[in-house]
Amino acid sequence: MASLKLMNIEELLEEFDFLEDWEERCDFLVDLGFDLPDMAADDKIEENRVYGCQSNVWLKIDVKENTPPTIEIIADSDAMIVKGLISVLLTIYSGKTPEAILQTDVKSIFHQIGLDQHLSTARKNGLNGMVKRVRELAAQNV
């Protein structure tokens, strides 16, 4: 399996497509969570907290002043499966322009992975909260 750092969206979808059932996909999500870089304790503040999540989630966006500007996402959670979901979000959004983030059909990607069918309501709410937060921050930087 490819490392998250080397994966793009297409490769991520291929990895999930290769896995036969939700149990294997869930294990893969947890594995992705292990690859998630640690977030600095200084960034785990109330301002960066994502609400609506079952577990604690912090999400910070750093706008890189490239041409065009890109958005880097730093996030963390105290739950391994959520760390895996964060890794999926980073693969989808991090390093992209605000415009690309706003144009991405994330629901289609989640459907292809099976997240819309297999996550609990609380986890779906948390994932949607993270997506909403990223999209709001991207919209502020268009």
Spatial CB neighbours of 111, under 8 Å, sequence gap ≥ 6: 117
CA gap 76, 35 in Å, rounded: 11
Q: Based on the residue annotation, tell me whether 53 is a catalytic residue of this protein.
A: yes
Cis-peptide into 68, omega within 30 deg = yes
Of 32, 53, 81, 88, catalytic? 53
Listed in order, strand segments (DSSP E) in 42-120 are 57-64, 70-77
CA gap 25, 130 in Å, rounded: 20
Structural tokens at position 124: 């779906």
* Active site (catalytic) residues: 53
